Chains A and B, each alone.
Chain A
Amino acid sequence: MIKKGLFLLLLCSYISLMIPLTAFMKERPVAVKLGYFPEAHALKTVAGDHRYLVAQYAVVKVLFYFGTIVEKAKNMIVVKPEYQNMFKTLQTASKLDPWNADVYYFTQAAFTWELNKIQDVNEMLDYGMKHRTWDYQLPYFAGFNAAYFLKDYGTAAAYMKKAAELSKDQLMTSLASRYLYESGQNEIALQFIEFMQQRTMDRKLINLYEFRKKALIAVISIQKGVNAYVRSRGTPPSRIEDIVAAGFIDRIPEDPYGGTFYLDEKGTVRSTSKFAFGTAPIRWSTE
């Protein structure tokens, strides 16, 4: 009798505890931390023939972490991401398993736009190309990076030629020729993001691409406005507000990274967010 009573009491307490606990766990202040991943050759020794699994685990870990950062940014929460750890972890993964496509794909996805670590990314891609000799995506990534970010059109063309040879795809061939010119880079970038987006099912990565596309479309629309302004007035506008006032665009689009757009001295569209997470002065949220 006493036992039954005790059991019922515990059961009731459990049920009544689970209601607030579930709510609490949902809202719990998760400290998003990537933390440190051990050095590659130490891991290689320990992991033995499981090192491919460990490499995959490292990638997934970084992917999850970065996904959370992107989601937080969407909810306007400032987190200073551990980019250094992220990159190191991916590098470790590439050393454990140089054939792992996810490593290169994700490195390209994460470290180009917001972080602008183009040189590092391309070095990693070069390393990957030595192993994934059949993969046209790596030279395609590297070519894009060289052209779009580094404005090094010669190198870009060489990469694109390699990509075109490997893929035998018409698109690559046409891109290889287009990379020789600077104009229309933002449109190429948009196309590139579409390419990346088609190759993932991960919601968090897709989120990230949506961010970038939104930013790019905004930049493209402002740039169009600037071009129209120059064509009609003969002089470049000094501020974006001038283009709006002149009626070339309806309003200044929103920067999904939370910054505000401005024009630099060359008339190029830029944002105070530098299109990166955790840099813009975003309002603090308690969520």
Chain B
Amino acid sequence: MHALEIVTLSKRYLGKRLKRVDALQDLSLEVRTGEVFGFLGPNGAGKSTTIKTVMGQIKPTAGHASIFGRPATESSSRLRVGYLPENPSFYEFLTGREYLHFVGKTFSLNNSMITEQSEHVLELLELTHAADRPIKGYSKGMVQRLGLAQAMLHDPDLYVLDEPMSGLDPLGRALVKEIIKNLKKQGKTIFFSTHITADIEVVCDRVGIIAKGRLMAVDTVENILQSGVEGYQIQVSRHGHVEELLVAKDRLKEFMAELVTSDAVVERIEPKRKDMEAFFLDIVSKEKHSAQ
């Protein structure tokens, strides 16, 4: 049983002038327990539609999703999930602490646990000073952090985060990345969407790339980075003279053998590779070509 399972999900909207819009087409993926899964795609690719379907807010035209084996259409499936919607907005008339209390109640936590957990997550997300102010007065970044706080309140096993880094300043981004890494250490499963490739490289185990409602690729981050290696930049020092050499991937063995026989010393070897962004752009442009 996977933490999250999405099976041949399709969603078709009836757009303006009765034009059909396929937001999702035959999307299948699973998120394994304990992994951090990045869901990467350009704006409007269907990331949020997928997540909303998983959270039971949208009914799919075909296919289904389940969380820890429970169908996403049941409200109880969300008991072990911490969910952060995209650009969240919370009841403005409540204070941060009151909102957390409300969230805790819906997870049937008792009062002392709610108080304890609220303190913990507020502190973690640096919101303690604003906890007793109405949400009305929060900045965008504070609301985003409160969103993460309410998702963490009941210590769920699966996190579903829709663009968790958006609206945050660099400090906030660093904080959130740190939190995600810590959650992974605790063995939590995290499924998050983003359109920023750098975020994926830093925290994810696996990544799924979505474009125009179709899942284009799913792989481990490691594989992608590995397959992206085009050659190696090798710094060699020969008789006190340092030089940089670029060696193709298939010539590395040969080069190293040559090197051993010579008196040169290898100072540094760096793989010269396409990064996640290049990989992503590749896939998206391929999709564009195939569409044409």
A contacts B directly in the complex (CB < 8 Å)?
A: no
B residues with a Cβ closer than 8 A to A are: none
